[in-house]
Amino acid sequence: MTRQKGVALLLVLWVLALLSLLLAGLAGWVQLESRQALWQRQHTEALLAAEAGVNLAVVSLTDPAQQRAWAADGRAHELAFERARVQVSVVSERGKLDLNAASTADVVRLLQACGGAVQARALGAALDQRRGNGQPPLRVLEELRQLPGMSQALFACAAPQVTLWSGQESPDPALATPWLRRALGLPSLNISGAEPGPILTLTSVAQLPGGFSAALVVTLLLNPSTEGARPYRVLHWQE
End-to-end CA distance of the chain: 70
Whether 79 and 101 map to the same domain: the answer is no
Read off the pTM: 0.80
Q: What is residue 152's predicted lDDT score, i.e. its pLDDT?
A: 94
* Residue whose C-alpha is closest to residue 174's, from 54, 86, 22, 71: 71
Whether 105 and 219 map to the same domain: the answer is no
Q: Distances in Å between the alpha carbon of 72 and those of 20, 89, 91, 93, 133?
A: 61, 8, 4, 9, 36
Q: Residue 176 burial by CB count (10 A; 0-12/13-18/19+): exposed, middle or buried?
A: buried
User: Is the sign of the CA dihedral 28, 30, 31, 36 positive or negative?
Assistant: positive
Q: What is residue 38's predicted lDDT score, i.e. its pLDDT?
A: 63
SS (H, E, C) 220-238: EEECCCCCCCCCEEEEEEE
* Dihedral angle of Cα 185, 187, 193, 198, to the nearest 10 degrees: -10
Q: What is residue 14's predicted lDDT score, i.e. its pLDDT?
A: 74
Whether 69 and 58 map to the same domain: the answer is yes
- Name the residue range of residue 206's domain: 42-94+192-238
Whether 88 and 201 map to the same domain: the answer is yes
Q: What is residue 179's predicted lDDT score, i.e. its pLDDT?
A: 96
> Is 107 inside a domain boundary?
yes
- DSSP per-residue letters across 70-109: G-SEEEEEEEEETTEEEEEEEEEGGGSEETTTS-HHHHHH
Point out which residues pair with 16 in neighbouring strands. none
State the DSSP code for 186: P
Q: What is residue 220's predicted lDDT score, i.e. its pLDDT?
A: 93
Q: What is residue 140's predicted lDDT score, i.e. its pLDDT?
A: 92
> Is 24 inside a domain boundary?
no
Number of domains in the chain: 2
Per-residue pLDDT of the chain (239 residues; tens, 9 = 90+): 566 666 666 777 777 777 777 777 766 666 666 667 666 788 888 899 999 999 999 988 888 888 778 888 899 999 988 888 999 999 999 999 999 999 999 999 999 999 988 899 999 999 999 988 778 899 999 999 999 999 999 999 999 999 999 999 999 999 999 999 999 999 988 877 788 999 999 999 999 998 889 999 999 998 866 566 778 889 999 98
Give dist(CA 156, CA 223) in Å, integer: 30
Q: What is residue 167's predicted lDDT score, i.e. its pLDDT?
A: 92
Whether 144 and 157 map to the same domain: the answer is yes
Q: Are 223 and 58 in contact (CB under 8 A)?
A: no
Q: What is residue 5's predicted lDDT score, i.e. its pLDDT?
A: 60
Q: What is residue 30's predicted lDDT score, i.e. its pLDDT?
A: 64
Whether 89 and 199 map to the same domain: the answer is yes
Whether 80 and 107 map to the same domain: the answer is no
Whether 50 and 86 map to the same domain: the answer is yes
Whether 135 and 149 map to the same domain: the answer is yes
Q: Choose one of 121, 147, 164: the last residue of a domain.
A: 164
> Is 78 inside a domain boundary?
yes
> Is 33 inside a domain boundary?
no
Whether 54 and 84 map to the same domain: the answer is yes
Q: What residues contact 118, with CB distance under 8 A and at least 6 apart?
A: none
